[in-house]
């Protein structure tokens, strides 16, 4: 494949991808035809010939198929699942694409659809096929060139067509998602997923290409930095990668970008906790592994992993993503590695699965039973044999306050000088209340945070509104963190967003607000950033192990925010936050809490004591070793060390 399509920065154009292909010959009314052929690995290319006709070419190893794309239907409803199809009615053929990198597939199909529409309408003379006369007289040499990116002129033509289409049909091209509207808690909850017509979403026949959101543009809305691109390139090169960095360096953003570039049905997305799994649309790593919490011996773990559905997903997996790797202990990681080799019958590290590991060992550590020695992943033999490359992200993007960034970097390594302590002590006088929005209290224990939210909600006078989620199918408890099945709200409730809605207006995950009223059954929230917003239902999606399709929950993207536990705040950016660190009990817990804020002006520490700042000594030595072994590149790469070096 060419460099353009492989590059993690090529989000605007894709004319070639590798995936599974099924070519189906549709049976006629008299029963003729009806043949279906599947190829697990194929190279799909869309391009033009010497006469500017558009073709699709399928390279199937020892053979190839080429079809002219004229009067075709492009289906991209399930592009997010890595699936799509191109229907050729005149030839009674359907080309089905599966196990595709979701982002590449979406760009390829929508770009193709746009090019076909422009060609059909004759809006771009340069891209319109030549006439029969020109073909006969031209004598052009045979050629096949990959489909070029959309030009600025083509984009303008598409936008004009989209506006005309919307005017002629008098319909909204992007209706909001729906969930059960707010009502009194004693009403029966709704069930069943609201579905739109398949014909409305599945085919280009009744939809103009969506230029603003789905078409390639001159720039991506969320640009990766140079060091972040290095991570994506390393993953796409096929090596096992661990990427790390301090809080706010964009690890989650990079992880989401990586997911879009990997084959959908054989990439398994996991995280150490349900909260983190929800953020990236995955499940807990324990759910994927199928060996419990790691309490069993190796032989029993082999038996558990050999159950049919667990073994199937282990064998199917080609890429395994694990977020918040710092919370996975060494013993569980080692058992997973042994199980992978056993179930897959492959003695390569992790059974030949490519690992993409993400996390910061300076943040929350593994949870271990009382009296059991804690061991980090990087202390295991499995880590040393599996992790080929470590990349450290250094550029902090959450905080623009350089003074606060410096304080956090000290605290991350368990240090807190007098100057840093004075700065944090001074925050106790900060006035954070704004437009009725109170600072969120960070608690060391989840039960404390839940109790604060319940009691604060019950103290408010007025009618509570109940919002019941609508699920596409049964969803495990792990999704409850960001989108509960039932959400109770009332005027005056302190809330925070649980999903990025509009980053340009700072409506991001963790944005703080207060419910001012209800309109059309939905809450109107006054946000701390300075404006009111009607919050409509949003879609939350996860993909369960062994399930190629995404499971969807539609719910109001809010949660109560008088308080939240430090554990659940990991990965969030909070507009205004208050904390008491006197009950901190874990290494790194104070650092996680303090790094949720954007600046010293948006935080209030009630009882700061430098003694609450601590980092695990083995983690410090691990990162110091990484720093010492920086290569000549801008991004440090960790070289394997002897077992026990960090103890």
Q: Is 246 annotated as a binding residue?
A: yes
Q: Is 400 annotated as a binding residue?
A: no
Q: Which residues contact 265 (CB under 8 A, 6 or more apart)?
A: 81, 82, 98, 99, 316, 548
* Cα 69 to Cα 54: distance, rounded to the nearest angstrom: 6
Q: Round the CA-based radius of gyration of the chain to a whole number and report it.
A: 27
Question: 183 by DSSP, 3-state: which?
Answer: strand
Q: Is the distance from CB of 397 to CB of 248 less than 8 angstroms?
A: yes
* Cα 48 to Cα 69: distance, rounded to the nearest angstrom: 10
CA distances from 84 to 68, 116, 199, 549, 551 (A): 18, 16, 14, 12, 18
Of 487, 493, 495, 507, give the one whose Cα is nearest residue 553. Answer: 487
Q: Which residues contact 469 (CB under 8 A, 6 or more apart)?
A: 179, 180, 483, 484, 485, 486, 487, 553, 554, 555
Q: Is 197 annotated as a binding residue?
A: no
Backbone angles phi, psi at 317, to 5 degrees: -70, 130
Q: Is 22 annotated as a binding residue?
A: no
End-to-end Cα separation, the chain, in angstroms: 44
Provide the CB-side half-sphere exposure for 494 (13 A, CA): 27
* Cα 358 to Cα 270: distance, rounded to the nearest angstrom: 11
Cβ-based neighbour number of residue 221 at 10 Å: 9
Q: Is 251 annotated as a binding residue?
A: yes
Q: Is 31 annotated as a binding residue?
A: no
Q: Is 248 annotated as a binding residue?
A: yes
* Cα 238 to Cα 222: distance, rounded to the nearest angstrom: 24
Cβ-based neighbour number of residue 335 at 10 Å: 24
- Token pair 């409305």 is found at 200
Q: Is 192 annotated as a binding residue?
A: no
Q: Which residues contact 87 (CB under 8 A, 6 or more apart)?
A: 72, 73, 74, 75, 93, 94, 95, 203
Q: Binding site for ATP: which residues?
A: 245-252
Q: Binding site: which residues?
A: 245-252
């Amino acid at each position: 494949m060419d460099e353009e399509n492989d590059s993690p920065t090529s989000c605007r154009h894709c004319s070639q991808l590798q995936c599974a292909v099924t070519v189906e010959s549709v049976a006629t009314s008299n029963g003729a035809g009806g043949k279906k052929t599947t190829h697990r690995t194929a190279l799909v290319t869309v391009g033009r010939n010497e006469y500017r006709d558009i073709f699709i070419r399928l390279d199937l190893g020892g053979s190839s198929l080429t079809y002219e794309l004229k009067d075709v239907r492009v289906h991209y409803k399930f592009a997010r699942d890595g699936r799509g199809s191109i229907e050729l009615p005149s030839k009674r053929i359907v080309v089905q694409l599966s196990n595709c990198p979701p982002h590449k597939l979406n760009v390829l199909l929508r770009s193709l659809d746009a090019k076909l529409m422009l060609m059909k309408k004759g809006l771009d003379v340069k891209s319109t096929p030549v006439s029969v006369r020109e073909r006969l007289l031209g004598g052009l040499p045979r050629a096949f060139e990959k489909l070029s990116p959309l030009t600025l002129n083509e984009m303008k033509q598409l936008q004009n067509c989209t506006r005309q289409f919307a005017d002629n049909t008098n319909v909204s091209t992007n209706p909001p998602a729906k969930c059960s509207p707010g009502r009194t808690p004693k009403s029966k909850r709704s069930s069943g997923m609201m579905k739109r017509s398949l014909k409305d979403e599945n085919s280009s026949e009744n939809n103009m290409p969506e230029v603003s959101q789905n078409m390639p543009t001159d720039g991506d809305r969320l640009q990766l930095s140079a060091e972040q691109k290095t991570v994506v390139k390393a993953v796409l090169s096929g090596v096992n990668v661990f990427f790390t960095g301090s809080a706010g360096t964009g690890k989650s953003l990079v992880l989401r970008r990586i997911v879009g570039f990997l084959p959908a049905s054989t990439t398994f997305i996991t995280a150490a906790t349900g909260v983190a799994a929800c953020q990236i649309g995955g499940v807990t790593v324990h759910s994927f592994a199928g060996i419990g919490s790691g309490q069993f011996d190796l032989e029993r773990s082999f038996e558990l992993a050999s159950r049919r559905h667990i073994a199937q997903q282990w064998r199917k997996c080609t890429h395994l993503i694990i977020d918040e790797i710092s919370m996975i202990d060494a013993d569980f990681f080692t058992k997973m590695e042994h199980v992978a080799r056993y179930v897959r019958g492959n003695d390569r590290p992790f059974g030949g699965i490519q690992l993409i590991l993400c996390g910061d060992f300076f943040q929350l550590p593994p949870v271990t039973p009382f009296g059991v020695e804690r061991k980090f992943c990087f202390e295991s033999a499995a880590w040393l044999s599996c992790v080929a490359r470590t990349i450290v992200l250094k550029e902090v993007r959450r905080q623009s306050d350089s003074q606060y960034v410096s304080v956090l970097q000290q605290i991350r390594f368990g240090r807190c000088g007098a100057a840093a302590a004075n700065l944090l002590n001074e925050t106790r006088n900060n006035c954070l209340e704004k437009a009725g929005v109170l600072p969120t209290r960070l608690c060391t224990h989840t039960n404390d945070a839940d109790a604060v939210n319940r009691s604060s909600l019950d103290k408010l006078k007025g009618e509570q509104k109940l919002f019941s989620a609508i699920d596409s199918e049964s969803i495990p408890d792990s999704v409850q963190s960001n989108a509960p099945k039932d959400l109770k709200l009332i005027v005056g409730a302190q809330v925070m967003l649980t999903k990025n809605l509009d980053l340009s207006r700072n409506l991001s995950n963790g944005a703080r607000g207060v419910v001012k009223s209800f309109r059309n059954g939905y809450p109107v929230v006054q946000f701390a950033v300075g404006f009111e917003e009607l919050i409509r239902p949003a879609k939350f999606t996860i993909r369960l192990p062994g399930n190629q399709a995404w499971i969807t929950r539609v719910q109001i993207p809010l949660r109560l925010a008088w308080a939240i536990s430090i554990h659940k705040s990991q990965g969030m950016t909070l507009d205004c936050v208050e904390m008491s660190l006197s009950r901190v009990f874990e290494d790194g817990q104070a650092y996680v809490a303090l790094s949720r804020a954007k600046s010293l002006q948006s935080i209030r520490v009630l009882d700061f004591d430098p003694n609450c700042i601590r980092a695990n000594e083995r983690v410090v030595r691990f990162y110091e070793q990484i720093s010492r072994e920086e290569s000549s590149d801008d991004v440090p790469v960790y070289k394997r060390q002897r077992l026990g070096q960090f103890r």
